[in-house]
Amino acid sequence: MQKPLLNFYWIKDRPWRLLAFGFGSGLSRYAPGTVGTLWAWVIGLGFPLAFPNSLESEIIFLLFVGFFVGIWACGKSGVEIKTPDHSGMVWDEMLAFWFILMMIYPTSWFYQILAFILFRFFDIVKPGPIAWVDQFFKNWQPTSSQEPWAEYVYGLGVMLDDILAACCTLICISILIRLGI
């Protein structure tokens, strides 16, 4: 079977593809992860307006659901295109950046820009544990008995390294705030 041509028509054909590719933002020819994160930031700016009276627990629940939906969407899309962690699948960046924004809102533009830069750094460079998780899932090969579960394992790998990058970003921002920067 030939790999599908990745374009908006192919992506919009199935809801999991549309989600995995960040509603088309992952189709950028240049730095799709950065474009997906920027798109997430724009959407995230509307969260206080969209959820003015919501509790943090409700937003955490939505992010939690988004994580598991992302495992399904990215895993299924990755199996379809025979690339478990395709650079165009940006739902993982989007969800991870929304998690960061939720943790730092309300905050200044300085900390939002800093969060964006730090997150992109950790997601691209993948230091330490982020790289270990990323490589583990990229190198994982299913046995024939695990084949039905392969897409979920691949999807978990796609999502998990970005959540770790988000956690590293939040740790750095916490330290900087504590230092009074």
CA 120 to CA 40: how far, in whole Å?
Answer: 13
Structure tokens at 163: 């959540």
Structure tokens at 120: 């992109």
Least confident of 21-25, 76-80, 131-135, 137-141: 137-141
Closest CA to 21 of 69, 89, 80: 89
What stretch of H or E contains 14?
Answer: none
pLDDT surpassing 70 at residue 31: yes
Sketch the domain layout of the chain as residue ranges: 8-178
Query: Residue 150: its pLDDT value, please?
Result: 81
CA 100 to CA 156: how far, in whole Å?
Answer: 19
